[in-house]
Amino acid sequence: MKLASTFNRTSSILRSREALTDEQIRHVAPSVFADTAHDSRSQRYTYLPTSEVLTSLRREGFQPFLVCQGGSRVEGKADFTKHMLRLRHANAITTTAEEVPEIILINSHDGTSSYQLLAGCFRFVCQNGMVTGQQLGEIRVRHTGDIVGQVIDGCISLVEEMPRLADTVNEFKHLQLTDGEQRAFALAAHATRFEPDSTVKADKLLTTRRHADNGPDMWRTLNRVQENVIRGGIGYVQTTEKSGTSFRRTREVKGIDQTVGINRALWVLAEEMAKIKNA
């Protein structure tokens, strides 16, 4: 099991090969178990701790394999801030496939987020957690009414869409890209994180970190680019008047919103390139 590691200055992340226990989740993301909503919420806000939703999801066959919690610079909000869980259904836990579908649950108890459900895909070879685009499904549940029922129904509806996700992954694996098409994809992906005048070269996003990712198909190209954008470590040269020229490496993306946003953008880019190729 991977131990909790720094997620950013005030938050943590934990991913495990086995389903996480409440104790493990509480250690990394105490906001999942908040006793009340933050006092900034009005009486119209329906408070329901994420822990209760998680208990209900477990009864429906969903188990958490990743948890993380964002930080807050506002005093007193640390135990109510945004958090994320990635869950797999029992039918997918015992799979021998290289990838497994996941449900991503995002929530907060300080008003910064509704309950959000997204479709995801976890790739074992590189421990990458990808997020699909809006075409597959996104469900938001406001903090009003029957929250548990709506979240469970949302998870089940996303699970029913998972065969489409598997079909897309299979399509990506069989879609071969030319060198120019790979560079075009990397250039478009570069814009999801870096400014146009950045000295980080787009071609660097195609760098292969492991032999299993070496190949011209859309799936491996997407995974190489995604890992290099999110994990960081790409070398570049920076020149400033104060310090002159120095060699730097890109930092890992650690914020929940930025991680999800970049992942989804890359997935949509891959889908659009597939449409162009198939046309």
pTM for the model: 0.81
Radius of gyration of the chain (CA): 20
Rounded to an integer, what distance in angstroms lies between the CA atom of residue 159 and that of residue 89?
Answer: 8
53 Cβ contact partners less than 8 Å away, ≥ 6 residues apart: 105, 107, 115, 147, 148, 151, 152
Q: Summarize the confidence of residues 180-192 as an average pLDDT.
A: 96
Bin 68: left if φ > 0, else alpha if -120 < ψ < 50, else beta: beta
Highest mean pLDDT among 151-160, 161-170, 214-223: 214-223
Residue 109: band (very low, low, confident or very high) from pLDDT cuts 50, 70, 90: confident
Q: Which of 71-75, 161-165, 267-271 has the lowest mean pLDDT?
A: 71-75
CA 71 distance to own-chain centroid: 17
User: What are 271's two structure tokens?
Assistant: 């889908």
Asked if the model's pLDDT at residue 74 lies above 60, the reply is no
Task: Give Dmax over CA atoms of the chain in angstroms.
Answer: 59
Asked if the model's pLDDT at residue 67 lies above 80, the reply is yes
Asked if the model's pLDDT at residue 140 lies above 80, the reply is yes
Asked if the model's pLDDT at residue 104 lies above 50, the reply is yes
Q: At 276, is the secondary structure helix, strand, or coil?
A: helix
227, 126 in Cβ contact below 8 A?
yes
pLDDT at 152: 85
Average per-residue pLDDT for the chain:
83
pLDDT at 81: 81
pLDDT at 41: 59
Residue 25: band (very low, low, confident or very high) from pLDDT cuts 50, 70, 90: very high
pLDDT at 3: 33
**Residue at token pair 């910064």:** 112
Q: At 169, is the secondary structure helix, strand, or coil?
A: helix
28, 4 in Cβ contact below 8 A?
yes
C-alpha torsion sign, points 260, 265, 270, 274: positive
Ordered by start, the domain boundaries in the chain are: 5-172, 179-278
Residue 10: band (very low, low, confident or very high) from pLDDT cuts 50, 70, 90: very low
pLDDT at 77: 62
pLDDT at 192: 94
User: What are 11's two structure tokens?
Assistant: 């938050």
